[in-house]
Amino acid sequence: MTTLDNPRDNAVEQSSDLTPQQRFREVRAVTDTLASRLSAEDQTPQSMPEASPTKWHRAHTTWFFEEFILRSVPTYAVFDERFRYLFNSYYEAVGDRHPRPERGLVTRPGIDEIAAYRRHVDDAMVDLLRRGALGDDALALLELGCNHEQQHQELLLMDVKHLFSTVPMSPGPVYVERGADAPAESDPLRWRSVAGGVTEIGAHGDGFAYDNEGPRHRVFLEDFEIARRPVTNADWWEFMADGGYRRPDLWLSDGWTHIRNTGWSAPGYWRFDDDAGWTTFTLSGRRPVVADEPVLHVSFFEADAFARWAGARLPTEFEWERAAADVDSLRGELLDPDRCHPRSTGHLNGGGAMIGNVWEWTASAYLPYPGFAPANGAVGEYNGKFMCDQHVLRGASAVTPRGHERITYRNFFPAAARWAFSGFRLAR
């Protein structure tokens, strides 16, 4: 049995009008909705080692509730003991696990058995919640599990997009049908002044937050300016036209080595066609690149090079959070299962929204805040063990579930990663 000490070090109950049972059901239903558009064949493959099959996401999020809550209930009957090995992700304290790069080789259990697994766990969880049988620590784990599943809803769509982009057909597969967006007026690049000084950073403790969002602490910032909108595709065209991918003076050493080794010459999913011009792969298939949409699927290396080319820089995560606090009521595009794609910067509440549309790279390495200590037990492995060779992104994206976003959220990826819905904005 896994020991879970102080789960509230990782999660606090979310302030919400929903009961825990309603919250659980709502989150689980979103995953089912996202998966319902995919065939069994769509849900099984793994297009790269960093991605996971859809059916694995569905099972792993179910495993989380079974492993960390239900296994401690004496009357609970485990659905299948083999799943403890198959669907563990990285929790060493739980035991051995199936290698991540081989998840796409697991043809069985199939999607019907995984659906049965989800129903089995859901029925057991709902029964406990109906009876009020979960104590405070278990309810904290329930909220952590719901947020964990929301993370995997975004990952599921990222991974499906990458998978579909590899299909050698024209036209390729479409996850969601949608019409072309109406033309929007391009939002010019403008700057907002932000006063520096001593400011508090991190979660307030008045709602759910991951452990890496605290402890809240003070930092000193110089006065700075931040762009009112993210960098757009039109901006990126100018960078490319000026030889941005061919100029070593713009790149960090590792970034220059990476693009030389990979041959990158445009953002992820972009392709140039003599007839169609620049196109990009979306969850609605391959579409023309829209000039006034935020640039998407760029790495930290690319964002840093562009900032240098533009005579600016990336904001630190502390500058980003300080600036976002002034516009925290504004939101850009968040997950809409009938869209799953950013909108133009002209739709971003006058260009002021900093949360939504694209995750935004910052200049900050992913490091612990002063006084941070991971929780004891397996849930302590959730975030702290990854604080090495990663960079922080802030905000949220067009596939981030609604209600999962906040200004203190610290997303993180390696510098070369660009399959996330990642963009950036400039600072100076």
Q: DSSP characters for 129-145? A: HHTT---HHHHHHHHHH
CATH number at residue 327: 3.90.1580.10
Residue 356 lies in a domain: yes
- Going from the C-alpha of 69 to that of each of 55, 123, 379, 408, the distances in angstroms are 21, 13, 12, 27
Q: What's the one-letter identity of residue 12?
A: V
Residue 57 lies in a domain: yes
Report the 10 Å Cβ neighbour count for 156.
26
Please indicate, yes or no, whether residues 93 and 227 belong to a single structural domain of this protein.
no
Please indicate, yes or no, whether residues 53 and 161 belong to a single structural domain of this protein.
yes
Residue 174 lies in a domain: no
- The residues facing 227 across adjacent strands are 191
Please indicate, yes or no, whether residues 207 and 149 belong to a single structural domain of this protein.
no
pLDDT tens, residue order, the chain (428 aa): 233 333 333 333 344 689 999 999 999 999 999 999 999 999 999 999 999 999 999 999 999 999 999 999 999 999 999 999 999 999 988 999 999 999 999 999 999 999 999 999 999 999 999 999 999 999 999 999 999 999 999 999 999 999 999 999 989 899 999 998 887 777 789 999 999 999 999 999 889 999 999 999 999 999 999 999 999 999 999 999 999 999 999 999 999 999 999 999 999 999 999 998 999 999 999 999 999 999 999 999 999 999 999 999 999 999 999 999 999 999 999 999 999 999 998 766 555 899 999 999 999 999 999 999 988 777 887 888 999 999 999 999 999 999 999 999 999 999 999 999 999 999 99
Among 294, 378, 324, CA closest to 91: 378
Q: Which residues contact 39 (CB under 8 A, 6 or more apart)?
A: none
Please indicate, yes or no, whether residues 348 and 216 belong to a single structural domain of this protein.
yes
> CA 147 to CA 27: how far, in whole Å?
8
Looking at the 3D structure of the chain, how many domains does it have?
Answer: 2
> CA 399 to CA 285: how far, in whole Å?
16
Please indicate, yes or no, whether residues 150 and 202 belong to a single structural domain of this protein.
no
Residue with tokens 């709602």: 207
Angle between helices 136-165 and 20-35 (to 10 degrees): 10
Please indicate, yes or no, whether residues 210 and 268 belong to a single structural domain of this protein.
yes
Q: Which residues of 178-198 are buried (b: 16+ CB within 10 A; e: fewer)?
A: beeeeeeeebebeeeebeeee
Please indicate, yes or no, whether residues 25 and 152 belong to a single structural domain of this protein.
yes
Check if the beta carbon of residue 90 is closer than 8 Å to that of residue 381: yes
Boundary-marking domain end, from 149, 165, 181: 165
Residue with tokens 């600072």: 427
CATH number at residue 105: 1.20.120
Q: What is the pLDDT of residue 338?
A: 97
Check if the beta carbon of residue 388 is closer than 8 Å to that of residue 363: no
- In 58-144, which ranges are E strands? none
Check if the beta carbon of residue 340 is closer than 8 Å to that of residue 159: no
Angle between helices 54-68 and 136-165 (to 10 degrees): 170
Please indicate, yes or no, whether residues 206 and 156 belong to a single structural domain of this protein.
no
Please indicate, yes or no, whether residues 261 and 221 belong to a single structural domain of this protein.
yes
Residue 170 lies in a domain: no
> Strand 191-194 and strand 224-227: pairing?
antiparallel
Query: What residue numbers bound the domain in which 66 lies?
Result: 7-165
Stated pTM of the model: 0.94
Residue 18 lies in a domain: yes
- Going from the C-alpha of 254 to that of each of 268, 278, 305, 388, the distances in angstroms are 18, 27, 12, 16
Q: What is the pLDDT of residue 187?
A: 79
Q: What is the pLDDT of residue 350?
A: 53
Check if the beta carbon of residue 343 is closer than 8 Å to that of residue 357: yes
Please indicate, yes or no, whether residues 25 and 100 belong to a single structural domain of this protein.
yes
Please indicate, yes or no, whether residues 204 and 147 belong to a single structural domain of this protein.
no
Please indicate, yes or no, whether residues 16 and 62 belong to a single structural domain of this protein.
yes
Q: What is the pLDDT of residue 10?
A: 35
CA Rg value for the chain:
22
CB pairs under 8 A, 24+ apart, for 13-20?
13/139, 13/140, 13/143, 13/208, 14/143, 14/146, 14/147, 14/207, 14/208, 15/206, 15/207, 19/129, 20/129, 20/134, 20/139, 20/142, 20/143
- Going from the C-alpha of 110 to that of each of 133, 247, 317, the distances in angstroms are 32, 49, 42
